[in-house]
Amino acid sequence: MEQELEIFINRVWIAPGADRFLSFLSNYSAWAPWLLGLLMIGLIFGNFKFRAAALTIGLAIGITDGLTVNLLKHTIARPRPSQVEPGVRCVELGKPPKPLPKIMGILNDPITSFPNGETLPHDCVGIVAAPDSSHQIQGRSFPSGHAANNMAVATVLILFYRRWGWLYLPVALLIAYARIYTGAHWPLDVGAGLLIGWIGGWLAVKLMQFLWHRFGARIFPKQYSAFPDLIA
């Protein structure tokens, strides 16, 4: 069932506009520097609660990606679809016109490649490629770090800001979907990443809340009187 779902998402439920948009969402290096810039502006000019939320997000990503995801990736070593399955579409963000930054690659057509042969016909759903027995494939597919990190961010924002925080959840889910669409992950990788991100975000918020109640009044008395609880 997972194989069939991956083939449908990657090769059947496709469109040129989706190729362009989802390859953009899947590419950290294109939009992460700009997001980091906005974060720095928020840290400088935002209020105390925003800074506390940003610190909690950093802790959540450390729990999910730095500890859990990396450990599981190296322990399980599951190959990516492009390493073992025939006909996978690897969809990458287009190259930006020089000298524009990488984020402007969305203006150009995405780059599509088929590392294991041409696209399978639709009636080939369920075919699994046999790994090459001549060498051991080193995979880093399970779980999806993109899904885990963005779900951790969404969880922290929801717990801190409630209604406004929910606005990031569709973004996190779209990024997770994009990882399957662009051929980078299996559906189970993404599902596990979303679960890990939710748990990591929840743990980070609970830990920050505990530390704030324990030490906040002594270290930051003014801020503690204004924000006796970090989460909404």
Verify cis geometry, omega within 30 degrees of 0, for the bond prior to 121. Answer: no
How, if at all, do strands 111-113 and 90-92 pair?
A: antiparallel
Instruction: Note the pLDDT tens digit of each residue in 195-216.
Output: 999 999 999 999 999 999 999 8
Give the mean pLDDT of 77-106: 86
Q: What share of the chain is helix, strand, coil (3-state, %, to 5)?
A: 65, 5, 30
Instruction: Note the pLDDT tens digit of each residue in 5-43.
Output: 999 999 999 999 999 999 999 998 888 888 888 889 988
**Cβ contacts of 229 within 8 Å, gap of 6 or more:** 209
Per-chain mean pLDDT for the chain = 87
Full-model pTM:
0.86
Read off the pLDDT band of 64 (50, 70, 90): very high
More confident: 33 or 166: 166
Q: Are 141 and 186 in contact (CB under 8 A)?
A: yes
Q: Are 153 and 161 in contact (CB under 8 A)?
A: no
The SS3 call for residue 111 is strand
- What CA–CA distance (Å, rounded) separates 157 from 65? 18
More confident: 193 or 219: 193
